[in-house]
Homo-oligomer: A and B are copies of this chain.
Amino acid sequence: MKSLTDAVLKFRNERDWAQFHTLRHLIVSLNLEAAELLELTQWKSDAEIEALIAPEKTGHSAARSADTQSVAEAKDAAGIAAQRDALADECADVLLYLLLIADRAGIDLDRAARNKLRKNALKYPVELSRGSCRKYTELAALAPSTEKTASATPND
Give Cα distance in the complex from A42 to B31, angstroms.
10
Classify the interface of chain A: helix, strand, loop or mixed.
helix
Contact with B along A97-117 (1 / 0, CB 8 A): 010011011110110111111
**Do the beta carbons of A17 and B133 come within 8 Å of each other?**
yes
Residues of B within 8 A of A45 (CB): 155
**Do the beta carbons of B105 and A117 come within 8 Å of each other?**
no
Cβ of A74 under 8 Å from chain B: no
Known contacts A25-B43, A34-B34, A53 near B117 by CB under 8 Å: no
Interface residues of A in 112-150 (CB under 8 A from B): 112-117, 119-121, 124, 126, 129-131, 133
A52 to chain B, nearest CB (A): 6
Which of A23, A32, A96, A113 has the most chain B CB atoms closer than 10 A to its own CB? A113
Known contacts A27-B38, A30-B34, A96 near B117 by CB under 8 Å: yes
Give Cα distance in the complex from A89 to B154, angstroms.
25
**Do the beta carbons of B113 and A95 come within 8 Å of each other?**
yes
| A23 nearest in chain B by CB position | B49
**Do the beta carbons of B113 and A102 come within 8 Å of each other?**
no
Interface pairs A-B: 4 shortest CB-CB: A54-B106, A57-B106, A35-B35, A92-B116
| A128 nearest in chain B by CB position | B15
**Do the beta carbons of A7 and B57 come within 8 Å of each other?**
no
Give Cα distance in the complex from A92 to B114, angstroms.
8
**Do the beta carbons of B120 and A11 come within 8 Å of each other?**
yes
Residues of B within 8 A of A1 (CB): 1
